[in-house]
């Protein structure tokens, strides 16, 4: 396992500068770029072009490092993974940026409180329950229930796809299937 380096650029401008300088400043290519709090940087975007520029620079940086990674001993092509997380608040400006981000990031993973647990329809024993949905172009959506117990234990269980539009809402089919487990 290699080293982990945490960087915290305080503004959009400094994030853009950091991304542009990473190829020259790192001693070797990273296997993962992780940007947490993308919404904070998008709030500093003066318009959709700036959000597109940030997205393109993130993807290009990961692509550059993918090209610099050495051959994998198993023969598979190495890849610098890119993960960007953001909290969506429902503001119109953020929603406008989401349309742009979807062009650059082909997969999305949405994490929402489980509506059945939140409404008290299920006994969770004090655990916090969430739904995670992975969506990718050209693939069926996949969904899981994530439970975080009072002791910190995490449990993950797949949810049969019921076609619910809201990733936090379970369909009646999902609830029935979940009850059978």
In whole angstroms, give the CA distance from residue 137 to residue 153.
Answer: 32
Above 70 in pLDDT, residue 159? yes
111 vs 170, residue with greater confidence: 111
Q: pLDDT (tens digit, 9 = 90+) per residue, 1-58?
A: 567 788 899 999 999 999 999 989 888 888 899 999 888 898 878 888 888 999 999 9
Q: pLDDT (tens digit, 9 = 90+) per residue, 71-121?
A: 556 656 678 889 998 887 766 566 678 888 888 888 888 888 887 655 554
Q: Could you tell me the two tokens for 8?
A: 């915290």
In three-state secondary structure terms, 38 is helix
Q: What is the pLDDT of residue 93?
A: 64
Judged on CB neighbours under 10 Å (0-12, 13-18, 19+), 78 is middle
In whole angstroms, give the CA distance from residue 158 to residue 35.
Answer: 26
Q: What is the pLDDT of residue 16?
A: 93
CA-CA-CA-CA torsion sign (90, 91, 94, 95):
positive
């Amino acid at each position: 396992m290699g080293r982990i380096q945490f960087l915290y650029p305080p503004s959009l401008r400094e994030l853009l500068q950091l991304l542009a300088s990473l190829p020259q400043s790192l001693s070797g290519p990273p296997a993962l770029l992780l940007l947490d709090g993308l919404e904070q940087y998008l709030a500093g975007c003066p318009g959709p072009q700036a959000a597109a520029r940030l997205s393109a620079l993130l993807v290009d940086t990961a692509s550059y490092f993918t090209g610099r990674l050495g051959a994998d001993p198993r023969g598979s092509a190495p890849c610098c993974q890119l993960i960007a997380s953001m909290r969506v608040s429902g503001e119109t400006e953020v929603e406008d940026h989401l349309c742009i981000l979807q062009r650059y990031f082909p997969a999305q993973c949405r994490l929402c409180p489980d509506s059945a647990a939140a409404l008290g329809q299920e006994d969770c024993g004090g655990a916090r329950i969430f739904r995670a949905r992975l969506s990718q172009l050209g693939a069926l959506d996949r969904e899981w229930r994530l439970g975080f117990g009072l002791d910190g234990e995490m449990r993950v269980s797949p949810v049969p796809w019921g076609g619910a539009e809201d990733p936090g809402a379970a369909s009646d089919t999902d609830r029935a299937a979940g009850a059978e487990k």
